[in-house]
């Protein structure tokens, strides 16, 4: 692809937008500058290709297409059928799945599709059948009560939030916590690792309908063969949410027992994290759940986003190329180099390291909360997010951890040498930041003290580090 073509495409798009609302064009341009200049270590973010981005900016956005390929509630969906079928075909081929559903708008939506499919498959309940005929947003409190009564408090066992699990795996602030009676499995307090014997024990006691594996802040691999055996031993449906590590599965870094697709009854993912596609979701399953999964829209999803499905098809085609496997391996190499660099400088890491794309620093060793550390790093041009650590004493808001991930910097081309420099920058900021005090002299969990000159210096070093790895090198906005 010629660099000229990419520059021309984005420049022309901005010119067209600028003619209507120049502030939007300016914000889009400013976002590119910000992303180019900051050291992006948010484990769930990446940089999609120009082809993926451009596939989203067009008239597919204008089309309603409720239903599925070849069975729509609207006329004129032949081109939407083409891109949805392509996205599903690429997903099936890439992951070796029997069935793929490309419509979910996000990871939460993908999980909701999976939960309803499992309930519909496993539970006989008239209120559920009635609810399936309507959109979830239209259900009243009474509908929910009837459903809860009929479903008989169906149970879900998932990883606890502070061990790295996800909100959508049955926790209260998410609808999954209302649909299911939830119990969590944590990690071993000494090693920080999943203790499969404990998971099996919890499953035997709790007898869940659904056993969920998957995480957003656990820096290790999960053995899905063992988890499936646990699910089978109690008759549970085994679901894996691979949103964070889908790129590592696609790139065949996670294979055998660590590839969820051959082991789980149903797998969900987002498409924009390590998979490097557009923002969106995907569900994979075997033939037995396919029909229920395909009812995702209008059962729980609003109208599909054909422009995003077009972009999913492009990104999934990219992930099927041989160079994606190399990218996936470099994500893990970089995360391990970052972990080693931090450990060598004295940082404490949850589980002592990583074997995936993310590292979780316990910043209490620096005398900071996650919130203080996150802000101090941001002042220094390093973008991360605070995250709870197991048994976090500072709760989910302030937290005691900083989660960092390598998918984005790896896309930019940074390698293990640059990860060591990155570890040095992070350690410099965290070791030079001190906790601040409230006006009454008590310790603050949010305030911090960091010499602005140091933050500035680190910011410049970060920019210098990035200078050799231009982001979207083919895009010159002039
Ligand atoms: N919000 C995503 C993350 O940052 O991990 C997960 O949904």
- Domain-by-domain residue ranges, the chain? 61-319, 323-467
Pick the residue whose CA is nearest to atom 2 on ligand 1: 44
What's the gap in Å between 150 CA and the centre of ligand 1?
32
DSSP H helices, 137-187, are 141-151, 176-179
Angstrom distance (rounded) from CA 222 to CA 196 = 10
Structure tokens at 150: 């009929």
Model pLDDT for residues 301-323, shown as the tens digit of each residue: 999 999 999 999 999 999 999 99
Distances (CA, A) of 128 to 180, 259, 287: 13, 32, 21
Please tell me the distance from the alpha carbon of residue 327 to that of residue 25, in angstroms, as a whole number.
Answer: 32
CB-CB contact of 8 with 15 (8 Å) = no
Distance 111 CA to ligand 1 centre (A): 13
Nearest atom within ligand 1 for CA of residue 45: 4
Q: What gap in Å lies between CA 478 and CA 476, rounded to an integer?
A: 5
| 12-23 confidence digits (pLDDT tens) | 999 999 999 999
244 CA: nearest ligand 1 atom: 5
Measuring from atom 5 of ligand 1, which residue has the nearest CA? 216
CA dihedral 441, 380, 433, 352 (to 10 degrees): 130
What value does the mean pLDDT take over residues 412-433? Answer: 98
- Asked if residues 251 and 278 have their Cβ atoms less than 8 Å apart, the reply is no
- Residue with CA nearest ligand 1 atom 3: 44
Query: How far is the CA of 462 from the CAs of 80, 357, 412, 472, in angstroms?
Result: 43, 20, 14, 18
- In the 8-state DSSP scheme, what is residue 305? -
Q: Whose CA is nearest to atom 6 of ligand 1?
A: 216
CA distances (Å), origin 438, targets 400, 441, 447: 19, 5, 8
199-229: pLDDT as tens digits: 999 999 999 999 999 999 999 999 999 999 9
* Number of neighbouring beta carbons within 10 Å of residue 121: 16
Give the distance from CA 16 to its chain's centroid: 32
| Helix, strand, coil percentages, rounded to 5, for the chain | 50, 15, 35
Phi-psi group of 126: left, alpha or beta (phi > 0 → left; psi -120 to 50 → alpha; rest → beta): alpha
> Quick one: pLDDT at residue 424?
98
Percent of residues, the chain, with pLDDT higher than 70? 95
pLDDT per residue over 77-88, tens digit each? Answer: 999 999 999 999
pTM, two decimal places: 0.94
Distance 70 CA to ligand 1 centre (A): 33
For 38-96, write each residue's pLDDT tens digit.
Answer: 999 999 999 999 999 999 999 999 999 999 999 999 999 999 999 999 999 999 999 99
State pLDDT tens for residues 241-274: 999 999 999 999 999 999 999 999 999 999 999 9
Give the angle subtended at the CA of 319 by the CAs of 103 and 62, to the nearest 5°. Answer: 35
* pLDDT band at residue 197 under the 50/70/90 scheme: very high
Which atom of ligand 1 is nearest the CA belonging to 168? 7
357 CA from centroid of ligand 1 (Å):
13
Average pLDDT, the chain: 95
CB 236, CB 202: distance < 8 Å: no
Q: In this structure, what token pair is assigned to residue 117?
A: 């499919």
pLDDT higher than threshold 90 for residue 478: no
* Residue 44 alpha carbon to ligand 1 centre in Å: 6
Q: Cα(451) to centroid of ligand 1, in Å?
A: 31
Distance 352 CA to ligand 1 centre (A): 22
Does the domain at 61-319 match CATH 3.40.640.10? Answer given as yes
Distance separating alpha carbons of residues 328 and 299, to the nearest angstrom: 35
Q: What is the pLDDT of residues 439-455, one digit of tens each?
A: 999 999 999 999 999 99
137-172 pLDDT, tens per residue?
677 777 777 776 766 679 999 999 989 999 999 887
Phi, psi at 250, each rounded to 5°: -60, -40
CA 216 to centroid of ligand 1, rounded, Å: 6
User: How far does residue 174's CA lie from ligand 1's centre (Å)?
Assistant: 13
> Relative to the CA of 42, which ligand 1 atom is closest?
4
Q: Which of 159, 273, 274 maximizes ligand 1 atoms within 8 Å of its Cβ, making it the mutation to test the pocket?
A: 273
Query: What distance in angstroms lies between residue 152's CA and the mean position of ligand 1's atoms?
Result: 30
The pLDDT of residue 1? 58
Query: Any idea which fold 323-467 has?
Result: 3.90.1150
Q: Which of 41, 44, 32 is nearest to 429 (CA)?
A: 41
> Which helix (H) or strand (E) segment is 339 a member of?
helix 322-344
Residues near ligand 1 (Cβ within 6 A)? 44, 107, 216
Name the residue of 243, 385, 405 to mutate for ligand 1: max ligand atoms within 8 A of Cβ: 243
- pLDDT of residue 104 exceeding 80, the answer is yes
The predicted pLDDT at position 299 comes to 85
- Nearest-CA residue for atom 4 of ligand 1: 44
Burial of 137 (0-12, 13-18, 19+ CB in 10 A): exposed
Nearest to 100 by CA among 245, 232, 372, 285: 285
pLDDT for position 259: 98
């Amino acid at each position: 692809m010629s660099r000229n073509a990419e520059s021309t495409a984005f420049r022309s798009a901005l010119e067209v937008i600028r003619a209507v609302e120049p502030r939007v064009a300016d914000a889009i341009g400013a976002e590119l500058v910000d992303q180019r200049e900051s050291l992006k270590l948010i484990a769930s973010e990446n940089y999609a290709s120009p082809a993926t981005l451009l596939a989203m900016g067009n008239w597919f956005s204008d089309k309603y297409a409720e239903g599925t390929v070849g069975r729509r509630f609207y006329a004129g969906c032949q081109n939407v059928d083409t891109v949805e079928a392509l996205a599903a075909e690429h997903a099936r081929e890439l992951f070796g799945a029997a069935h793929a559903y490309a419509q979910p708008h996000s990871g939460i939506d993908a999980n909701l599709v999976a939960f309803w499919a499992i309930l519909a498959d496993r539970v006989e309940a008239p209120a559920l059948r009635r609810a399936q005929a309507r959109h979830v947003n239209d259900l009243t409190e009474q509908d929910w009560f009837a459903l809860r009564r009929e479903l008989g408090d169906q149970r879900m066992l998932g990883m606890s939030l502070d061990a790295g699990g996800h909100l959508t795996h049955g926790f209260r602030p998410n609808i999954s916590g209302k649909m299911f009676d939830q119990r969590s499995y944590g990690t071993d307090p000494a090693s920080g690792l999943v203790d499969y014997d404990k998971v099996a024990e919890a499953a035997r006691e709790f007898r869940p309908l659904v056993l969920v594996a998957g995480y957003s802040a656990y820096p290790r691999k999960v053995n899905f063969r063992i988890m499936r055996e646990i699910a089978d031993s109690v008759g549970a449906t085994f679901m894996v949410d691979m949103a964070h590590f889908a790129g590592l599965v696609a790139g065949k870094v996670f294979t055998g027992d660590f590839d969820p697709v051959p082991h789980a009854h149903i797998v969900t993912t987002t498409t924009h994290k390590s998979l490097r596609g557009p923002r969106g979701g995907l569900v994979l399953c075997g033939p037995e759940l396919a029909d229920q999964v395909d009812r995702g829209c209008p059962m729980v999803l609003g109208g599909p986003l054909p422009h995003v499905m077009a972009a999913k098809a492009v990104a999934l085609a990219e992930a099927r190329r041989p160079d994606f496997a190399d990218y996936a391996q470099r994500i893990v190499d970089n995360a391990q180099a970052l972990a080693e660099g931090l450990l060598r400088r004295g940082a404490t890491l949850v589980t002592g390291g990583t074997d995936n794309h993310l590292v979780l620093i316990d910043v209490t060793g620096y005398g900071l909360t996650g919130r203080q550390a996150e802000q101090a790093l941001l002042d220094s041009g390093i973008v991360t997010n605070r995250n709870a650590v197991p048994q976090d004493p500072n709760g989910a808001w302030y937290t005691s951890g900083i989660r960092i991930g390598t998918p984005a910097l790896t896309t930019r081309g940074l390698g293990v040498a640059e990860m060591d420099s990155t570890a040095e920058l992070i350690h410099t900021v965290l070791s030079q930041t001190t906790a601040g005090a409230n006006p009454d002299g008590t310790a603050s969990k949010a305030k911090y003290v960091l010499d602005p000159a140091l933050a500035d210096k680190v910011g410049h070093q970060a920019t210098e580090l990035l200078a050799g790895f231009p982001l979207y090198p083919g895009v010159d906005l002039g």
